Amino acid sequence: MKRGSDMDRAFLERYADVLLTAVNLQVGQNLLVRAEPVHLGFAGVLAARAYARGARYVRFDNSEIENPVMYRARIEHSREEYLEYVPRTRLEAMKAMIEEDWALIAVRTPEDPDFLAPLDRDRNARAARAIAAEMRPYQARVNNNEIAWLVAFYPTAKLAGRIMDMPPGDAAIDALWKVLIPILRLDRPDPAGFWDAHGEELAGRADKLNSLRLDAVRFTGPGTDLTIGLLDGSIWRGGPDHTRSGRKFNPNIPTEEVFTSPDSRRASGRVAFTRPVFVPIIGKTIEGGWLRFEGGDVVEYGAASGRDVLDSYLAMDEGAKRLGEVALVDTSSPIFMSNRTFYNILFDENAACHIALGSAYPGCVKDGDSMSERRLAEMGANSSAVHTDFMIGSPDVEVLGLSRDGRTIPIIAGGRFAL
């Protein structure tokens, strides 16, 4: 790209069209673009392309949760007794968006990955926990596909500098785009068409896993021997999803995973993180982390750096100590092959197998879409106000499926799917 040129604008419009196709924006539908202020320019491109497709209204949301400057000011200077306040306007806006069937595109790339790192841990945790708890009913409705939603990536100068090991700035952003273009398949004649076809391939892989009727999956490798039990009704998913009204959409671009909701009561063993994990709700990164599970709970943990992040995260609520997702990704992923850490869950989770501490996906449980949160929890699907992925896969980590009829089935060997 030539920054600032017509070609640059055309390239961004091409990327915006891929995202709008993925979220399946309809004529007459409203669109919410949730992002940090630094993304306002790209949000304008998204808005223009959305209106060209017939959108009724496009809103850019950079309220406190998405605005790190405002959030940091609050944590550093607010009176103690106000830290747990969550304004009704925030909740009412979310409720109205769901009821009016908006589409949602969330751009999850911070302007400065380290901006929130200096915050006092306890004050930050109090505010973050209160926000997560109040937003939980509405976020659950989004996760349950009452609307079409999409998580997307857009480079920022400091993040690009960290990823590319360069001084932050335009040169780092341009260098990062060269890495991103093949990952996002923007070098293809029809990128949106590719993601449709690729999504169907992932759905086929999920169907194969479902046909095995697995009771558990086991991960083994350096520092890792973890067995995760599955529910009798666990459903593997991958690729496209559907809203409750039946409208198809792709929730992640890029995506390379197949995933399910495990039995939160049946994780045992030790697991090592194979990539750094940036935890947005805390604003800090964990490196060299590990967890040990007994009876589904994290009972011991550590990290080369960022143990305090785990301290805060695991104290969010009881569900933060249990698993809500297990996902499989092999080393054919272009994100893995880029040999880079993106300090961004959307990309890093699609580079390697991962587990999530926190809420389960109702859509990954048989008939879960129609169950109450309480009923899901009774079945063993985890309930929490948070959900964060931790990468545990590498070429040295093997994955076995343990079937209900006693078979042991290689799923990933030598870093590649063996099915």
Helices then strands, counting H and E runs in the chain, come out as 12, 21
Per-10-residue mean pLDDT of the chain, 419 residues long, equals 60 95 97 94 97 97 79 95 93 93 93 89 90 88 90 94 95 96 94 93 96 97 98 95 92 95 98 93 91 98 96 94 97 93 90 96 89 89 93 97 95 93
The answer to whether 352 and 394 are in contact (CB under 8 A) is yes
Yes or no: say if 148 and 243 are a contact pair by the CB < 8 Å rule: yes
Q: How far apart are CA 286 and CA 26, in angstroms?
A: 39
The answer to whether 259 touches 237, Cβ cutoff 8 Å, is yes
241, β-bridge pairs: 249
Whole-number Å distance between alpha carbons of 174 and 66 = 24
**CA distances from residue 174 to 16, 37, 247, 250, 354 in whole angstroms, order as listed:** 17, 20, 35, 26, 29
Looking at this protein, which amino acid is placed at residue 202?
L
Q: Which residues contact 149 (CB under 8 A, 6 or more apart)?
A: 23, 103, 104, 105, 106, 142, 249, 251
Please give the sequence-ordered ranges of beta strands (E in DSSP) within 207-272, or none if there are none: 214-221, 224-230, 237-238, 241-242, 248-249, 258-260, 262-272
Tell me the C-alpha distance between 410 and 299, whole Å.
28
Task: Quote the pLDDT of residue 4.
Answer: 44
pLDDT at residue 1, rounded to an integer: 54
Q: Which residue has the tokens 């009412």?
A: 92
Please give the pLDDT value at position 65: 62
Instruction: Note whether 322 and 267 are within 8 A (CB).
Output: yes
The pLDDT of residue 172 = 96
Cβ atoms of residues 344 and 179 within 8 Å = no
User: Which of these, 66, 171, 63, lies nearest to 109 by C-alpha position?
Assistant: 66
**Could you give the dihedral angle defined by the CA atoms of residues 192, 240, 344 and 387, in that order, rounded to the nearest 10 degrees?**
160
End-to-end CA distance of the chain: 40
Report how far residue 380's alpha carbon sits from residue 131's, in angstroms, rounded to the nearest whole number.
25
> What is the pLDDT, as a whole number, of residue 370?
83
Q: Which of 316, 320, 272, 268 is nearest to 294 (CA)?
A: 268
Q: Which amino acid is at 366?
A: K
Joined together, the tokens standing for residue 365 give 């449980």
| C-alpha span between 15 and 10 (Å, rounded) | 9
The pLDDT tens digits of the residues spanning 293-340 come to 999 999 999 999 999 999 999 999 999 999 999 999 999 999 999 999
- Three-state secondary structure call for residue 262: strand
Alpha carbons 390 and 265: distance in angstroms, whole number = 18
Phi, psi of 277 (to 5 degrees): -125, 115
Strand duo 248-249 + 262-272: pairing: unpaired
What pLDDT does residue 62 have?
A: 81
Q: Which pLDDT belongs to residue 369? A: 81
Cα–Cα distance measured from residue 162 to residue 157, given in angstroms and rounded to the nearest whole number? 9
Domains of the chain: 6-184 (3.40.1830.10), 206-417 (no CATH)
Give the β-pairing of 103-107 and 30-34: parallel
